[in-house]
């Protein structure tokens, strides 16, 4: 125990050090291994099955690709997404796709992504043309916070979904069915007509197996018996609102969110009871109310963007109506990104010079980042020539 004098304390220190073992130090620790299992830096995946739902929607079944080092899939919470990295014609892009399968399926090393083809899109047509059984896919760990938290959320969740925005709620419905999640779920699901309801039959199947999942189809372009017609308005919501407190989760295009948010004001829900995820669907920055005034009918300007990575720079074009992340991806720069909605912060980069526009409504930057000149490149649009210091990854996996 304690020593009488400081000299003796130091002798004691030497004695303890000298008595230390010479066995090799551990290189693995269980808590770090659990962290790596839950949050792997990269998941190398392989497509095992492709299901065609209709001309515009397919499900891709993914398994780990042990030849590249992924032995098992990371567990996740229903509502989370994978950021998938794809190289298309020299562009290196990411896209967030919600995991549609139940968390339980990850324990059996299966994820399912259900993807809708966007006709004029850049990535989904590529996926539809190239992803086959056997194709390898590189993805992030599961990410995102559109998940049920019993300490925060009410026990009944009202989900408002449009198009492929249904996928996180499909995972939630599955997790409620198998007992992983303890909640009730009412899904208000907007589609064009009854022929185009993504995962409609599968959702019906779940709601017939459990009375905790209720499905309400809302068709914008068709009257169909038993379905709501029009948009997901306050009236539609009111008709299907369960008794008692609810939390509302919204997932789909930005337009759906803007619309639903307006309709929901009628219900005076306390702050925190409306949650949403943009899923990388931010629109044209020039439509933002706080976009700086520019001459009417002005054509879209293209600026010079200088990108500095560990002291090496290159200059690329950057359009005013596209994020600087997109500009970097077009140039083949492996810029980090994940949620593509301004939220997760993975794409944080330092502005060395120049002006960028960040729409206030979706600005989730840290306060100090605003002061010290950092942007989330996925939601930053050039207003002048710019220089950015971008932390492109140079990582090894230190703790395996």
Partner 1 sequence: MKTDYDVIVIGAGNGGLAAAVTAAKLNHKVLLVERHNLPGGAATSFTRGRFEFEPSLHELAGYGPQDNPGNIRQFFDWAGIDVQFHAVPDAYRMINTGKDKLDIRMPTGIQNFMTTLIQAVPGSQASVQAFFKIAIENAQVFAQLSAHPEALDPATLATQHPLFAKYGHQPYQRVLQALDMPAKAQEILLAYWCYIGIPSDEFEFAYFASMLVSYVTYSAYIPQNRSHEISSALVQALQANGGTAWFNTEVTQLLTAEGAVVGVQIGDRKLYAHEVIADLLPDTVYSHLLPAEMVPTTELKKANARELGTSGFLVYLGLNRSATELGIHDYSTFIARDWDTRHQFAGMHQLHGNDFMIMNCLNVANPTCSPAGTSILYATQLFFGDSWDQVRPQDYPHLKTQLARDVITRYEQATGVHIQDSIEEIEVATPVTFARYLRAPEGDIYGYYGQPWDQMVARSLTAAQEDEPLPHLHFCGGAGHMLDGYSSAYASGQFAARQASHNLQKEVL
> Does residue 333 belong to the site contacting partner 1 (CB under 8 A)?
no
Q: Which two tokens stand for residue 330?
A: 């077009």
Q: Which two tokens stand for residue 221?
A: 């372009």
The residue within the footprint of partner 1, chosen from 119, 225, 272, 289 (CB under 8 A), is 272
> Does residue 297 belong to the site contacting partner 1 (CB under 8 A)?
no
Contact flags string 8-37 toward partner 1, x per CB under 8 A: -xx-xx-xxxxxxxxxxxxx-xxxx-xx-x
C-alpha angle with apex 255: 254 to 259, nearest 5 degrees? 115
Segment contacting partner 1 (CB under 8 A): 42-50, 86-94, 208-216, 265-273?
265-273
> Does residue 296 belong to the site contacting partner 1 (CB under 8 A)?
no
b/e map 296-316, b = 16+ CB within 10 Å? eeeeeeebebbbebeeeeeeb
Contact flags string 85-124 toward partner 1, x per CB under 8 A: ------------------x---x-----------------
Contact flags string 150-169 toward partner 1, x per CB under 8 A: xxx-----------------
Q: Which residues pair with 221 in a beta bridge?
A: none
Closer to partner 1 by Cβ: residue 12 or 284: 12
CA-CA-CA-CA torsion sign (358, 361, 363, 366) = positive
Please name which of 198, 211, 190, 227 lies closest in space to residue 98, comparing C-alpha atoms: 198
Is 338 strand, coil or helix? coil
Answer for the pair 185, 159: CB distance below 8 angstroms, yes or no. Answer: yes
The residue within the footprint of partner 1, chosen from 55, 67, 244, 393 (CB under 8 A), is 393
Segment contacting partner 1 (CB under 8 A): 85-93, 200-208, 221-229, 270-278?
270-278
> Does residue 396 belong to the site contacting partner 1 (CB under 8 A)?
yes
Please name which of 103, 37, 100, 108 lies closest in space to residue 74, comparing C-alpha atoms: 37
Closer to partner 1 by Cβ: residue 247 or 281: 247
Closer to partner 1 by Cβ: residue 196 or 273: 273
Under rule CB under 8 A, how many of the chain's residues touch partner 1? 68
> Does residue 290 belong to the site contacting partner 1 (CB under 8 A)?
no
Residue count of the chain, please give it: 400
Is 30 strand, coil or helix? helix
Torsion of CA 380, 386, 387, 390, to 10 degrees: 20
The residue within the footprint of partner 1, chosen from 263, 364, 385, 387 (CB under 8 A), is 364
The residue within the footprint of partner 1, chosen from 271, 289, 292, 297 (CB under 8 A), is 271
- Name the residue with tokens 């997901």: 232
Please name which of 352, 346, 384, 383 lies closest in space to residue 365, comparing C-alpha atoms: 346
Is 200 strand, coil or helix? helix
**Minimum separation from the CB atom of position 309 to partner 1 (A):** 9
Contact flags string 189-228 toward partner 1, x per CB under 8 A: ----------------------------------------
> Does residue 179 belong to the site contacting partner 1 (CB under 8 A)?
no
> Does residue 79 belong to the site contacting partner 1 (CB under 8 A)?
no
**Minimum separation from the CB atom of position 111 to partner 1 (A):** 14
Region of 129 on the Ramachandran plot (φ > 0 left; ψ -120 to 50 alpha; else beta): alpha
Closer to partner 1 by Cβ: residue 77 or 167: 77
Binders in 224-263 for partner 1, by CB under 8 A: none
**How far is 206 from 211, CA to CA, in rounded Å?**
9
**Residue 63 Cα distances to 74, 96, 113, 185, 244, angstroms:** 11, 18, 11, 28, 41
The residue within the footprint of partner 1, chosen from 57, 74, 183, 250 (CB under 8 A), is 74
**Minimum separation from the CB atom of position 145 to partner 1 (A):** 7
**How far is 234 from 225, CA to CA, in rounded Å?**
21
Q: Which two tokens stand for residue 379?
A: 């939601």
Answer for the pair 48, 137: CB distance below 8 angstroms, yes or no. Answer: no
Closer to partner 1 by Cβ: residue 103 or 359: 103
Contact positions vs partner 1 (CB under 8 A): 1-3, 5-7, 9-10, 12-13, 15-27, 29-32, 34-35, 37-39, 74-75, 77, 103, 107, 145, 149-152, 270-272, 310-311, 336, 345-346, 348, 364-369, 371-372, 374, 391-396, 398-399
């Amino acid at each position: 125990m304690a020593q009488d004098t400081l000299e003796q304390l130091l002798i004691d220190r030497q004695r303890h050090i000298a008595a230390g073992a010479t066995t090799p130090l551990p290189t693995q620790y269980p808590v770090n291994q659990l962290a790596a299992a839950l949050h792997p830096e990269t998941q190398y995946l392989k497509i095992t099955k492709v299901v065609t739902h209709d001309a515009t929607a397919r499900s891709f079944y993914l398994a780990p690709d042990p030849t590249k080092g992924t032995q098992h899939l990371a567990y996740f919470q229903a509502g989370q997404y994978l950021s998938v990295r794809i190289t298309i014609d020299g562009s290196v892009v990411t896209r967030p796709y919600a995991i549609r399968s139940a968390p339980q399926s990850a324990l059996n090393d299966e994820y399912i992504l259900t993807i809708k083809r966007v006709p004029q899109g850049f990535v989904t047509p590529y996926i539809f043309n190239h992803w086959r059984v056997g194709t390898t896919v590189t993805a992030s760990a599961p990410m995102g916070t559109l998940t049920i938290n019993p300490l925060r959320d009410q026990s009944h969740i009202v989900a408002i979904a449009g198009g492929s925005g249904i996928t996180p709620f499909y995972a939630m419905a599955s997790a409620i069915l198998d007992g992983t999640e303890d909640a009730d779920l009412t899904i208000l699901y907007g589609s064009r007509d009854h022929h185009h309801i993504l995962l409609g039959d599968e959702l019906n199947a779940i709601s017939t197996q459990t009375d905790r999942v209720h499905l309400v189809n809302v068709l914008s372009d068709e009257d169909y018996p038993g379905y709501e017609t029009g948009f997901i308005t306050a009236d539609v919501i009111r008709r299907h609102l369960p008794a008692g407190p609810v939390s509302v989760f919204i997932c789909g295009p930005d337009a759906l969110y803007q619309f639903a948010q307006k309709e929901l004001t009628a219900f005076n829900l306390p702050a925190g009871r409306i949650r949403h995820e943009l899923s990388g669907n931010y629109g044209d920055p020039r439509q933002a109310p706080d976009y700086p005034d520019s001459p009417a009918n002005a054509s879209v300007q293209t600026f010079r963007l200088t990108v500095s990575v560990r002291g090496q720079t290159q200059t690329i074009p950057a359009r005013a109506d596209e994020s600087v992340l997109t500009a970097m991806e077009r140039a083949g720069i492996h810029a980090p990104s994940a949620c593509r909605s301004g939220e997760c912060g993975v794409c944080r980069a330092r502005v060395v010079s120049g002006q960028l526009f960040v729409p206030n409504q979706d600005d989730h930057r840290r306060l100090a980042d605003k002061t010290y000149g950092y942007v989330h490149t996925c939601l930053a649009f050039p207003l002048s020539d710019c220089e950015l210091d971008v932390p492109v990854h140079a990582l090894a996996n230190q703790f395996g």
